[in-house]
């Protein structure tokens, strides 16, 4: 069977053409003028047209994507560079916007001369939907894991647990600033007792957050500085500037009371 297959490939290119036609991924080929010279069955299905309707037409007339007729066109780039190019894009077919990922490669003759381009297209509608859903879930989880709580009149606490990266730091800043505006807080306590490790990047995020709160007329106190975190900060030479820090939430609350001139007394 293998020998028969090899012989048929040697005798004719019809088998190779049939394979291309039957590949379930849309595939097309164009000449150097971007006129269609081939499209397989999956490509025809995506376009919603027959080959008789498409033959000789320019590819941008069919797919009308965001990259078409711009320097971002990967087909033009592939033919100019002689190398394959891949990108995400959005095709507009029959009034539908379809998110796609496409790869364009130079099409060469037997002498290695570029005579056009070959492109295969992946419909990534489901992938884009899943990515959007994942981002929404991540946002929800982050909002739940970083709640800004009214601890006292004029005092808000933001307990932080887990890893602080750029995205989460941005979300923390947004939550704190929104809470300051909502509650007219004068002191906000950023409790990082649940943060396992602090490096230069995390420290910079914390400093930016304290500066942002200061711009809104609110004082920020960082509490929950463990011995390990304090040692790391010193070893890395991180300068927290004039940021107030305490080892525990109770000390931070006491400092907040002092700043607001609130006196708490024990009753008999």
Residue 168: give its domain's CATH number.
3.30.750.24
Q: Name the pTM for this structure.
A: 0.51
Give me the pLDDT at residue 88, please: 93
Q: Tell me which residues of the chain have a pLDDT lower than 50.
A: 1-9, 11
Element (H, E) at 108: strand 96-108
- Look at residue 128 and tell me if it is in a domain: no
Range of the domain at 82: 2-123
- Look at residue 129 and tell me if it is in a domain: no
State how far the Cα of 108 lies from the Cα of 69, in Å rounded to an integer. Answer: 22
**118 and 58 within one domain:** yes
Boundary (domain end) residue, out of 123, 153, 187? 123
Boundary (domain end) residue, out of 88, 123, 158? 123
**224 and 115 within one domain:** no
**242 and 147 within one domain:** yes
- By the 8 A CB rule, do 20 and 27 touch? yes
Boundary (domain end) residue, out of 123, 154, 173? 123
Q: Give one word for 21, left, alpha or beta, with left for phi > 0 and alpha for psi -120 to 50.
A: alpha
- Look at residue 7 and tell me if it is in a domain: yes
- Look at residue 98 and tell me if it is in a domain: yes
State how far the Cα of 27 lies from the Cα of 118, in Å rounded to an integer. Answer: 7
With H, G, I as helix, E, B as strand and everything else as coil, classify residue 41. Answer: helix
Element (H, E) at 46: helix 41-47
- Look at residue 87 and tell me if it is in a domain: yes
- By the 8 A CB rule, do 190 and 220 touch? yes
Instruction: List, as one string, the DSSP characters of 135-156.
Output: HHHHHHHHHHHS--EEEETTEE
Q: What CATH number does the domain containing 75 carry?
A: 3.30.450.20
**115 and 155 within one domain:** no
CB-side neighbour CA atoms (13 Å) of 199: 5
Give me the pLDDT at residue 4, please: 44
- Look at residue 265 and tell me if it is in a domain: no
Domain count for the chain: 2
């Amino acid at each position: 069977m293998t020998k028969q297959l090899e012989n048929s490939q040697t005798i004719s290119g019809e088998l190779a053409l049939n394979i291309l036609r039957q590949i379930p991924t849309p595939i097309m080929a164009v000449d150097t003028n971007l006129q269609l010279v081939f499209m397989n069955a999956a490509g025809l299905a995506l376009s919603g047209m027959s080959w008789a309707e498409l033959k000789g037409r320019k590819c941008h007339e069919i797919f009308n994507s965001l990259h078409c007729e711009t320097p971002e066109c990967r087909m033009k780039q592939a033919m100019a560079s002689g190398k394959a190019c891949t990108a995400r894009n959005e095709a507009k077919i029959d009034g539908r916007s379809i998110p796609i990922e496409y790869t364009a490669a130079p099409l060469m003759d037997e002498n290695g001369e570029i005579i056009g381009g070959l492109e295969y297209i992946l419909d990534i509608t489901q992938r884009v939907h899943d990515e959007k859903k994942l981002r929404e879930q991540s946002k929800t989880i982050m909002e739940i894991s970083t709640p800004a709580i009214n601890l006292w009149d004029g005092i808000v606490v933001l307990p932080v647990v887990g890893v602080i990266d750029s995205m989460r730091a941005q979300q923390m800043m947004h939550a704190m600033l929104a809470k300051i505006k909502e509650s007219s807080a004068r002191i906000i306590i950023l409790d990082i007792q649940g943060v396992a490790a602090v490096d230069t990047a995390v420290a910079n995020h914390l400093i930016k957050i304290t500066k942002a709160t200061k711009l809104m007329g609110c004082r920020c106190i960082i509490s929950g500085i463990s011995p390990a975190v304090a040692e790391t900060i010193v070893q890395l030479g991180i300068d927290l500037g004039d940021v107030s820090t305490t080892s525990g939430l109770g000390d931070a609350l006491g400092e907040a009371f002092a700043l607001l001139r609130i006196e708490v007394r024990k009753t008999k």
